[in-house]
């Protein structure tokens, strides 16, 4: 018989039985970059098991899996690890004794996302800085991208989290915190990967829930940057998207250490705009296989068909288990 549930360990104690019997809903949001992953679960605490046995404190954490049985067909039994989450908040209310736990992937006992820092880093690199920031947060580092040398950069009152996101964004890199690791990766490299799955319009079922939006103001034919180098000299760099000859040019300005550095930053800004120009949202029968930072092939949608990169996935269950995917068409021709 088809069923979906979660497996939850609270401070490594198996709380699955309590969750299964009393769960009202859960939501897991998996983000490719720019935000923390989150998980929340609400339940009816009939016998006060949570208030008596799992009452949250500032040091608590959970590990979560989504489990499906006989899902798409008989014996289609799978489970997916959602990750390690720090308990960030809870709500207890009555009657009938409702209990909700909210958790987040970023470390909350360090100052990673709350403590502003003023520091200048010299003769360093993106990877070195990410390693230092990960260390302060008590996380490991996974760096799956080309490293970039940095002559000097300042963290001016920013938290480590906002500084890290901003720095990665300048170089066209993505960053997320997953399972107590700071993960930095090259999005273009990931968008070039083989598709992980195909989604056809028929997969949406009776709900037929989808939306597509295009923002013309974010669509550019090229980018032009005027920057000041270390010798205080103003230099201009221009890049046109292959095959484009139009006049919609994105103009940006700022500091760059070299022509190569300016090129990286200009293309990163152009890519960010182009990726935000076209957005697709799909809601379909829940499936734990759908993950952020993966690609899929869309079929059955006419001119919308093609290869997409997943920016965000929301897995939720309140009655029935559904998955909502937010994605954009891949862009791999800007190198």
Q: What is the pLDDT of residues 46-58, one digit of tens each?
A: 777 777 776 777 7
* Distances in whole angstroms, Cα of residue 283 to Cα of each of 169, 206, 252, 278, 306: 28, 11, 36, 17, 18
Q: Which of 5, 28, 295 is nearest to 178 (CA)?
A: 28
Specify which residues 239 forms β-bridges with. Answer: 223
Confidence band of 20 (pLDDT split at 50, 70, 90): low
The separation between the first and the last C-alpha atoms of the chain, rounded to the nearest angstrom, is: 49
- The pLDDT of residue 207 is 60
pLDDT higher than 70, residue 7: yes
- The DSSP bridge partners found for residue 278 are 214
Q: Do 301 and 207 share a structural domain?
A: yes
How high is the pLDDT of residue 243?
A: 87
Residue 334 within any structural domain of the chain: no
What pLDDT, on the 0 to 100 scale, is given for residue 181? 95
| pLDDT value of residue 190 | 96
3-state secondary structure of 93: strand
Judge if 132 and 249 occupy the same domain.
Answer: no
What is the three-class DSSP state of 180?
coil
Domain-embedded: residue 35: yes
Note whether residue 191 is domain-resident.
Answer: no
20, burial (CB in 10 Å: exposed 0-12, middle 13-18, buried 19+) = middle
* 82 and 165 assigned to the same domain: no
Higher pLDDT: 156 or 12? It is 156
Query: Of the residues 83, 104, 125, which one is the last residue of a structural domain?
Result: 104
Looking at the fold, whether 217 and 176 belong to one and the same domain comes out as no
Both 215 and 296 in one domain: the answer is yes
Q: Taking 70 as the threshold, does the pLDDT of residue 206 lie above it?
A: no
Give Cα 293 distance to the centre of its chain: 7
Judge whether 141 and 131 are in contact, CB under 8 Å.
yes
With tokens 């990169």, the residue in question is: 309
18 pLDDT higher than 60: no
Total Cβ atoms within 10 A of residue 119: 12
| Number of alpha helices (DSSP H) and beta strands (DSSP E) in the chain | 6, 21
Which of 186, 215, 242 is at the close of a domain?
Answer: 186
Say which CATH number the domain at 82 has.
2.40.10.10
The strand pairing partners of 281, in sequence order, are 211, 326
Please choose, from the candidates 161, 84, 108, 86, the residue with its C-alpha nearest in 3D space to the C-alpha of residue 130. 161
Rg (CA), the chain: 22
Most confident of 12-16, 62-66, 94-98: 62-66
Interstrand relation of 320-329 and 306-318 (parallel, antiparallel or unpaired)? antiparallel
**Is 335 within a domain?**
no
Residue after which a domain boundary falls, among 104, 129, 161: 104
Q: What is the pLDDT of residue 253?
A: 85
Domain range for 82: 3-104
For residue range 47-87, what is the model confidence (pLDDT) as tens digits? 777 777 767 777 889 999 999 999 989 999 999 999 999 99
Average pLDDT over the chain, rounded to whole?
90
Number of domains in the chain: 3
Asked whether residue 21 carries a pLDDT value surpassing 70, the answer given is no
pLDDT tens by residue, 35-48: 999 999 988 877 77
Predicted pLDDT of residue 97: 78
Residue 260 near residue 313, CB atoms below 8 Å: no
φ, ψ (nearest 5 deg) of residue 30: -110, 115
| pTM check: above 0.85 | yes
**Confidence band of 96 (pLDDT split at 50, 70, 90):** low
φ and ψ at 227, to 5 degrees?
-130, 160
Chain centroid, CA 111 distance in Å: 21
Mean of pLDDT values over 304-319: 96
Q: Is residue 180 part of a domain?
A: yes
Query: How confident is the model over 113-132, as a mean pLDDT?
Result: 94
Say which residue, 27 or 111, is predicted with more confidence.
27
Q: In this structure, what CATH number is given to the domain that contains residue 150?
A: 3.55.50.10
């Amino acid at each position: 018989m088809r069923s979906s549930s979660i497996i939850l360990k609270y401070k490594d104690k198996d709380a699955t039985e309590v969750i299964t019997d009393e769960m009202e809903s859960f939501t897991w949001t998996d983000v490719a970059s720019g935000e923390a992953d989150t998980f929340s679960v609400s339940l009816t605490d009939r016998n006060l098991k949570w208030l008596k046995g799992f009452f949250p404190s500032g040091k608590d954490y959970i590990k979560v899996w989504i489990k499906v049985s006989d899902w798409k067909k008989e014996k289609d039994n799978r489970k997916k690890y959602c990750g390690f989450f720090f308990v960030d908040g809870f709500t207890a209310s009555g009657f009938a004794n409702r209990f909700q736990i909210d958790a987040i992937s970023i470390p909350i006992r360090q100052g990673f996302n709350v403590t502003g820092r003023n520091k200048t880093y010299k003769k360093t690199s993106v990877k070195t800085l990410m390693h230092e920031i990960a260390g302060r947060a008590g996380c490991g580092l996974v760096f799956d991208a080309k490293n970039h040398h940095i002559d000097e950069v300042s963290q001016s009152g920013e938290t480590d989290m906002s500084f890290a996101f901003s720095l990665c964004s300048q170089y066209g890199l993505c960053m997320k915190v997953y399972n107590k690791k700071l993960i930095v990766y090259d999005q273009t490299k990931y968008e070039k990967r083989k598709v992980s799955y195909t989604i056809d319009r028929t997969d949406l079922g009776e709900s037929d829930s989808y939306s597509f939006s295009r923002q013309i103001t974010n669509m550019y034919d090229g980018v032009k940057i005027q920057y000041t180098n270390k010798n205080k000299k103003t230099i201009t760099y221009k890049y046109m998207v292959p095959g484009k000859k139009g006049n919609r040019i994105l103009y940006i300005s700022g500091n760059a250490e070299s022509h190569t550095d300016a090129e990286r930053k200009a293309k990163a800004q152009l890519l960010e705009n182009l990726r935000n120009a076209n957005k697709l949202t799909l809601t379909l029968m829940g499936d734990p296989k759908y993950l952020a930072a993966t690609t899929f092939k869309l079929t059955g949608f006419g001119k919308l068909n093609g290869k997409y990169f997943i920016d965000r996935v929301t897995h939720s269950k309140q009655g029935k288990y559904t998955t909502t995917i937010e994605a954009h068409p891949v862009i791999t021709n800007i190198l």
